[in-house]
Homo-oligomer: A and B are copies of this chain.
Amino acid sequence: MTDTSKPAAKARAISGFPEYIPEIRRAEMRWIDTIRETFERYGYVNIETPSVEEVETLAAKGGDVDKEIYGLQRLNAEGDDKGVRLALHFDLTVPTARYVAQHFNDLTFPFKRYQIQRVWRGERPQEGRFREFLQCDVDVIDQDGISHDFDAEIPLIAMQALNAVGAGPIRFMLNNRKILIGFYQGLGIENAADVIRVVDKIDKLPASEIERILTGELSLPADTAKACLALAQIRSTDNAFADEARKLGVDNALFEEGLAELTTVMNRLNAADKGACVAEANLGIARGLDYYTGVVYEAQLIDYPEYSTICAGGRYADLVGAYIKRDLPGVGISIGLTRLFAKLVKEGVITGERASPTDVLIARFPENDVLELDGIANALRTRGVNVEVYHEAAKLKNQFRYAERKAIPYLWFAGDRHEVKDLGAGEQTAADPATWLPARLKG
C-alpha cells in the first residue's frame, strides 16, 4: 500500500561516513573478527576507550590536529554550557596514552594491547580519506626501556592479520629514524627534523623537486642535499641496504646503531612466513611525526601503488608524555581498516558474502503447528545451527524465493518424517532434528 500523503524525504548517505549493505558488512565483520583473533594469537589484550576525550587531552599532542577535531556541542546548550569541552578522538594513540596513565597500577608491563575502534576527523573526504573510520591498533608499551624484539613482532602481527583476511599483496617498508638522524648529524645538518619532513615526500614529489627544496628553503649545500637524496633512494628486501648506505661515506655512531637495528629486524622478518606481504628496508620513508625514535613502518597495497598508506607505525621513546612522571616507550602499528577495506570493495576485490547468517529455513504450511516448528528450530539452535522458521503459512514458491534471495543453503520440511533439501545440490534427504548439521558445522 503506497501512502501518497507521505513526503518522501531524503534518506541519503553523508559524505565521508561509510555504510554498507548487509553482504558487505558481513565481510567487514569477518575481517574484524580475524584481525582480533590474530592479535590475540600473539597474546595482546583488547581495550576500548570512550569515543570522546577532553579537548585539552587531544590538544596535548600539539601540531595542527585541532583543525581536524570534531568538538561536541549539545544542540540546546545554553550559557556556560556552550563551550566545547569534549571532542571525538582522531586516533587511538592519544586515548591509549591517557588510558595507560589512568590505569597504570592495574596493568602488567610490557602492556600488550590492541584496540579496534572508530575514529573521527573533520577533513574534506576524498578517495582513501574518511571522516569516520575504523582503526586497528596493536601496541606494546613498557616502563623505562622496551625490548627490540617488538620492532619485528609488531609488523609481523600486522602482516599475519592482513594475510589472514586476504587483503592481497602488501609492501611493508621499514626504516629507522636513527639512520636518518645519525646520517644528517654526520653531514653536519642542524635542522634534521625539517629535512625529514621534506625527504618523507620522496614518493610524492620528483627527486629534483626534493633536492630543490633541500638546497633552497632548507639552505643545504648541494652535495649534502645530494647525499640525503641518495640515502632516501636506498631500498632492499635483504640486508644490502646497510652496505649501500655505508658507501655514502658518513661516519656516525647513531647512524650505525640504526643500520644494525634495522638489519636485526629484517633478519627476523625474513626468517618468518610473510605470506602475501613483502618486507622492504626503505631508507626513504620517515613518518612525518617527531613522535617516532627508532624503527618506522609504512605499508601500501602493491596492486594500487597510488593509493595512500594502509598501515603505519614505529617505535616511540615515550607514549604517555605529560600524563605521568616516567617514560613509557613502546612500539606499535595501526591498520587503517576502513581505508583498506573500502578500497578493496571499490575495486571489486571484496564482493561481499550472503546477506544472512541463516543455515536453514523451516518451511511452514497450514497443517503445521508453529510451536512444533519452534521446537525443531530450538533443537537445531542448541547445536549452533542458525535457523529461521518461515513467518507464516505460505505457498512453497514464496518460501523458496525467500530462501533464494537470502542464499539460505537448506530448506527443512517438518512432518512425521523430517526432510531437508540442500538448495545448492538440489538433493532432498531425511533428517533428524536431534542430530542434523549443515555442512558449515561439520568437521
Contacts and interface: CB of A to CB of B under 8 A. Distances in A.
A147 interface: yes
A13 B273 CA distance: 42
A295 to B, nearest CB: 15
B76 A67 contact: yes
A3 B327 contact: yes
A370 interface: yes
A127 to B, nearest CB: 18
Interface stretch (A4-12, A184-192, A225-233, A297-305): A4-12
Contact of A6 (B52, B322, B385): B322
A25 interface: yes
B325 A103 contact: no
B74 A67 contact: yes
Contact of A132 (B14, B42, B50): B50
A427 interface: no
B355 A45 contact: yes
B51 A72 contact: no
Contacts of A49: 19
A66 interface: yes
A204 interface: no
Nearest to A66: B75
Contact of A387 (B20, B21, B41): B41
A26 interface: yes
A101 interface: yes
Nearest to A273: B378
Given A11-B102, A147-B392, A325-B8, A72 B88 contact: yes
A43 B356 contact: yes
Interface stretch (A53-61, A171-179, A413-421, A429-437): A53-61
A326 B50 contact: no
Interface stretch (A106-114, A214-222, A279-287, A343-351): A106-114
B322 A149 contact: no
Contact of A75 (B17, B75, B87, B381): B87
Interface string A218-255: 00000000000000000000000000000000000000
24 contacts: A6-B322, A9-B60, A9-B322, A11-B101, A12-B102, A19-B49, A21-B103, A22-B106, A25-B46, A25-B48, A26-B46, A41-B386, A41-B387, A66-B75, A66-B76, A67-B75, A68-B74, A71-B75, A75-B87, A112-B356, A112-B388, A147-B391, A149-B391, A272-B378
Of all A-B residue pairs in the complex, the 4 with the closest CB atoms, nearest first, are A11-B101, A17-B50, A43-B388, A43-B358
Given A25-B46, A272-B378, 18 more contacts: A1-B327, A7-B322, A9-B322, A11-B101, A11-B323, A20-B47, A22-B47, A40-B386, A42-B387, A44-B357, A52-B131, A66-B75, A72-B72, A72-B88, A75-B84, A108-B356, A108-B406, A150-B391
